[in-house]
Amino acid sequence: MPGQMIEFRANGRMTPGYLNANAGAGPGLIVVQEYWGLVDHIKQLADRFAAEGFVTLAPDLYHGRQTKSPDEAGKLFMALNIGEAGTDLASAASYLLALPGVQPKKVGTVGFCMGGQLALFAAQEHPDRISAGVDFYGMHPNTPIDPSKLRVPVLAHFGRRDQSVKEPDARALAARYRAAGASFEAHFYDAGHAFFNDSRPQVFDQPSADLAWQRTLDFLRAHLR
């Protein structure tokens, strides 16, 4: 069943988001958008995770703006205030934790492209509210990454043919986290960037997406229950 648009307080204002609480009871999960905005694909992913037993919330980090233009998406991407976005995600976690249906009281993050890096950043910065993170080919050059701060487990998915997040860079990132003693599990797929996005047939890779989906569910169920 589809969810609904709600608002929650963050950064001294009301922030919109897409909530699906149709699971009834289950752990919370924040679904973090790509650089296009809170588009239908992200809402559908929130619905898909809800069907698997999670209470999901996809915050609108652009506060109503979205686009289909790569150029415009790039501008929105670079203009995003990372500090405010991090607070939006932490506040989304607080909102979920306050819902009676979120049982046990645990919240994870899962994000894609820009959202993948932000899902990792939120897990790094807010272990008091976020218990696990999943990063799908995350990227955002302005996101401060500090492996020494990560206290919760993270799962990451990368494409070997990704020209935006190149395999050597992704492997170096994973190595930095592991060298710092963090729990950082990384998988690499014979696919390009955004291989999980089934709304974009030019990049979608079904076998890689299916495997990443199952690994993500297994990981979240292990760490949020």
Report domain extents, the chain. 4-224
Q: Partners of 15 in the beta sheet? A: 8
**Total-model pTM:** 0.97
Kindly state the percentage of the chain with pLDDT values over 90.
93
Q: Is 94 exposed, middle or buried (0-12, 13-18, 19+ CB in 10 A)?
A: middle
pLDDT tens-digit readout, 195-217: 999 999 999 999 999 999 999 99
C-alpha R_g of the chain: 16
CA-CA distance, 167 to 205, in Å (whole number)?
17
Average of per-residue pLDDT across 192-196: 98
The torsion defined by the Cα of 107, 113, 115 and 118, in degrees rounded to 10, comes to 90
pLDDT tens-digit readout, 115-140: 999 999 999 999 999 999 999 999 88
Q: What's the CATH number for 4-224?
A: 3.40.50.1820
CA-CA distance, 95 to 61, in Å (whole number)?
15
How would DSSP label each residue in 108-149? EEEEETHHHHHHHHHHHH-TTT--EEEEES---TT----GGG
Helical segments of 62-205, H only: 70-79, 82-98, 114-125, 167-179
User: Is the separation of the CB atoms in 73 and 67 below 8 Å?
Assistant: yes
pLDDT at 141 over 90: no
More confidently predicted of 69 and 141: 69
CA-CA distance, 217 to 110, in Å (whole number)?
11
Sign of dihedral through CA atoms 223, 106, 91, 38?
Answer: positive
Report which residue type is found at 51: A
pLDDT tens-digit readout, 89-104: 999 999 999 999 999 9
HSE-CB of 174 using CA atoms within 13 angstroms: 22
- Local confidence band at 33 (pLDDT 50, 70, 90 cut-offs): very high
